[in-house]
């Protein structure tokens, strides 16, 4: 949703507010950064997350200073960035980055309902490793009690993206310098078994 | 340096303050997230950066709302995260992430000296694309005037890392579930030439 907070001051044409774009970026990214402020001092923590509908979930230990600082509902800013490529132009000035980012302004809601909490943990697990949750023993009530799950509304979320090649100034375009894109990609390498699993076949959902 | 702000409340054994560790993480990461607060409202922006000695540099348009909000020296929190792997344990609860992260608390110093500013732009360019700066036409004084460069001290920086396999509870270790690590890596794919460079050979430093 476009609000005063979600309208960027620069390159506003790159801003997007449609759910499809925002959800796709959130579903592809593995980690977000949660920024908060304590007495005006900014703090930030990178962490795992998952999305369902218009809610984003994070989790942490009930004893975590970070979780305790934000679970009472202070404003946070959650950012996600997918770096898609380095954009090399003919001048340093016109170099750029292809990216897809989301910025969310929200307040934490502590998930108290046990069923929603358990479902959020399944989402968090399967967001990083699709198919994993159903392959695991059930999470116990004790484990659930040791974990805080926080939910954030995506009502005040916006996306910003850049795609395509360099935008060089006309006077630079014929310089004999190579210009173009170096695509970036995050890849999953071959799984490495723990000592406890040397005899266990790698499950299909990891291949 | 270990201070009240840089001492994590959880898993403090993972915290590290030596320059070698902090510098290595900063030099490998391509992007950071700069968090700041305006009237208590947390804001955050992912951006490129570079390090030299105990200073971290970012840059932006002189007109950028973000740059103007922090150039006057308010406190910021800069985070960097390298995600090295997903750690799959026998229980959902013991799943983890292998990562190397840095958190910096600092205040922006606007770089006014033209020589330091130009050097910072070279660092920023070569941090993303080693060898690029010397292949480009000189940056003009006009381009320099349109760009703000901010420097941050690394005095209040700390690193946090996790490595290794899952730490399963003894009662879970013999479960027939596969456990191990899925290594993650950010890779640079084959460069794609812009229309302006179809006849220009790809420079050696990009291969």
CB contact under 8 A, B185 and A184: no
Q: Residue B67 falls within a domain, yes or no?
A: yes
Q: Residue B93 falls within a domain, yes or no?
A: yes
Q: Residue A1 falls within a domain, yes or no?
A: no
B114 in contact with A at a CB cutoff of 8 Å?
no
B101 in contact with A at a CB cutoff of 8 Å?
yes
Number of domains composing chain B: 1
Looking at residue B1, its pLDDT comes to 59
How far apart, in whole angstroms, are the C-alpha atoms of residue B21 and residue A54? 39
Please tell me which of the candidates A9, A139, A172 has its beta carbon nearest to residue B65. Answer: A9
A20: left (phi over 0), alpha (psi -120 to 50) or beta: alpha
How far apart, in whole angstroms, are the C-alpha atoms of residue A35 and residue B78? 10
Looking at residue A168, its pLDDT comes to 97
Segment B181-201 mean pLDDT: 97
CA closest to A61 among chain B residues: B10
A 10 A CB-CB count for A169 gives: 12
Task: Give the phi and the psi of residue B147 in degrees, each rounded to 5.
Answer: -115, 135
Q: Residue A40 falls within a domain, yes or no?
A: yes
Looking at residue B12, its pLDDT comes to 62
DSSP assignment of chain A, as one string?
---TTTS-SS-GGGEE--HHHHHHHHHH-SEEEEEEEETTEEEEEEEE-EEETTEEEEEEETT-HHHHHHTT--EEEEEEEEEEEEEE-SSGGG-EEEEEEEEEEEE-EE---HHHHHHHHHHHHHHHSTT-GGGSPPPPHHHHHTEEEEEEE-TTEEEEEE-SS----GGGTTSSS--EEEEEEEEE---EE-GGGTTSPPPGGG-
Interface confidence (ipTM) of the complex: 0.94
CB contact under 8 A, A86 and B128: yes
* Closest by CA position to B182, among listed A88, A120, A138, A202: A202
Q: Residue A66 falls within a domain, yes or no?
A: yes
Per-residue pLDDT 10s for chain A (207 aa) are: 566 667 665 666 677 889 999 999 999 999 999 999 999 999 999 999 999 999 999 999 999 999 999 999 899 999 999 999 999 999 999 999 999 999 999 999 999 999 999 999 999 999 999 999 999 999 999 999 999 999 999 999 999 999 999 999 999 999 999 999 999 999 999 999 999 999 999 999 999
User: Is residue B17 predicted with pLDDT exceeding 90?
Assistant: no
What CATH code is carried by the domain that includes residue B198?
A: 2.30.110.10
Q: Check: CB of residue A97 under 8 Å from CB of residue A162.
A: yes
Please tell me which of the candidates A63, A93, A206 has its beta carbon nearest to residue B10. Answer: A63
- Cα-Cα-Cα-Cα torsion A174, A175, A178, A183, nearest 10 degrees, comes to -70
Q: Residue A4 falls within a domain, yes or no?
A: no
Q: Residue B5 falls within a domain, yes or no?
A: no
Range of the domain at B149: 12-206
Q: Residue A105 falls within a domain, yes or no?
A: yes
């Amino acid at each position: 949703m476009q609000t005063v907070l979600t309208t960027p001051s620069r390159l506003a044409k790159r801003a997007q507010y449609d759910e499809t774009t925002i959800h796709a970026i959130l579903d592809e990214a593995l980690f977000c950064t949660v920024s908060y402020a304590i007495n005006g001092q900014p703090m930030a923590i990178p962490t795992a997350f998952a999305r369902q509908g218009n809610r984003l979930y994070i989790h942490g230990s009930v004893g975590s200073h970070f979780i305790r600082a934000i679970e009472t509902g202070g404003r946070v800013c959650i950012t996600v960035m997918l770096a898609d490529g380095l954009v090399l132009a003919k001048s340093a000035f016109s170099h750029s980055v292809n990216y897809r980012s989301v910025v969310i302004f929200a307040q934490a809601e502590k998930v108290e309902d046990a069923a929603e909490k358990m479902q959020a943990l399944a989402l968090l697990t399967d967001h990083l490793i699709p198919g994993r949750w159903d392959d695991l023993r059930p999470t116990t009530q004790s484990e659930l009690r040791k974990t805080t799950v926080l939910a954030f509304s995506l009502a005040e979320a916006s996306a910003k993206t850049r795609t395509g090649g360099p935008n060089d100034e006309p006077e630079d375009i014929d310089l004999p310098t190579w210009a173009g894109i170096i695509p970036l990609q995050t890849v999953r390498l071959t799984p490495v078994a723990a000592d406890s699993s040397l005899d266990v076949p790698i499950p299909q959902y990891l291949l």
